[in-house]
């Protein structure tokens, strides 16, 4: 009888041990399945989400005849992703820098002749996938013809103009992203500045939260 009791005890302990192993294996399978599901979803999102940025910037004078009315910066917005970008918002500001070519080697936040340090916002409702250069104009009211002549900004390479800012947008996965941009150009003798992207600043797409709107 004692032997039988011992055998039953061993069997019970073995059963508990095997059950624990089974529970561990099931839990491990569920965790692995969840990880695979999340990884697959992330891959799908990365392959299909919107990628919005500023492709180029042009600056133009708006006027009638010889009368200068105002200066516009036209930002060309692109969506290189495979899905629409929703609730696109662009924020930008403009500055002049008086160091000439050496300005490129210095911190842009110091020793500046600030033309307009105010951030301007513009909402773009939606951008379809593969959108190529949708123009979004911004008026730069403080860059007048008088200001250009007063500051002698028409001297070749005497000043640099820098337009920088950020783009926020939502994806179809209800996630909010932000990317930043910086363009610079010198003010030539004739015409408006020729803008080019700052090649040292690569566009990055940062997730900044969830889209709370419907």
- In the prediction, which pLDDT does 110 show? 43
**Residues of the chain where predicted confidence (pLDDT) is lower than 70:** 1-12, 14-15, 17, 32-33, 35-48, 63-70, 96-119, 141-160, 186-203, 212-214
- In the prediction, which pLDDT does 125 show? 72
The 10s digit of each residue's pLDDT in 71-114 is 778 888 888 888 888 888 888 877 766 655 444 444 444 444 44
Distance of CA 36 to the CA centre of its chain: 28
Distance CA 175, CA 208 (A): 8
Query: 184 and 161 in contact (C-beta within 8 Å)?
Result: yes
By residue count, the chain amounts to 214
pTM of the prediction? 0.63
Distance CA 155, CA 98 (A): 11
- In the prediction, which pLDDT does 54 show? 87
Q: Encode 136-154: b = buried (16+ Cβ within 10 Å), e = exposed.
A: bebebeebbbeebeebebe
Q: Where are the beta strands (DSSP E) in 13-99?
A: 52-64, 67-79, 85-97
């Amino acid at each position: 009888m004692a032997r039988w009791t011992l055998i039953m005890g061993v069997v019970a302990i073995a059963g508990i041990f095997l059950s624990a192993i089974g529970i561990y294996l099931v839990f491990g399978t569920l965790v692995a399945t969840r990880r695979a599901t999340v990884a697959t979803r992330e891959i799908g999102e990365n392959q299909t989400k919107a990628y919005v940025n500023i492709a180029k910037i042009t600056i133009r004078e708006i006027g009638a005849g010889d009368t200068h009315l105002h200066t516009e910066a036209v930002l060309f917005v692109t969506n290189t992703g495979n899905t629409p970008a929703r609730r696109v918002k662009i924020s930008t500001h403009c500055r002049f820098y008086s160091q000439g070519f050496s300005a490129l080697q210095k911190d842009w936040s110091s020793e500046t002749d600030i033309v307009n340090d105010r951030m301007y916002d513009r909402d773009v409702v939606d951008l379809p996938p593969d959108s190529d250069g949708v123009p979004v104009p911004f008026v730069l009211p403080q860059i007048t013809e008088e200001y250009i002549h007063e500051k002698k900004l028409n001297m070749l390479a005497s000043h640099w103009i820098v337009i920088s800012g950020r783009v926020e947008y939502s994806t179809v996965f209800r996630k909010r992203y932000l990317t930043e941009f910086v363009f610079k150009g010198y003010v030539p003798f004739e015409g408006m500045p020729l803008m080019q992207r700052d090649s040292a600043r690569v566009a990055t797409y940062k997730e900044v939260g969830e889209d709370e709107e419907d």
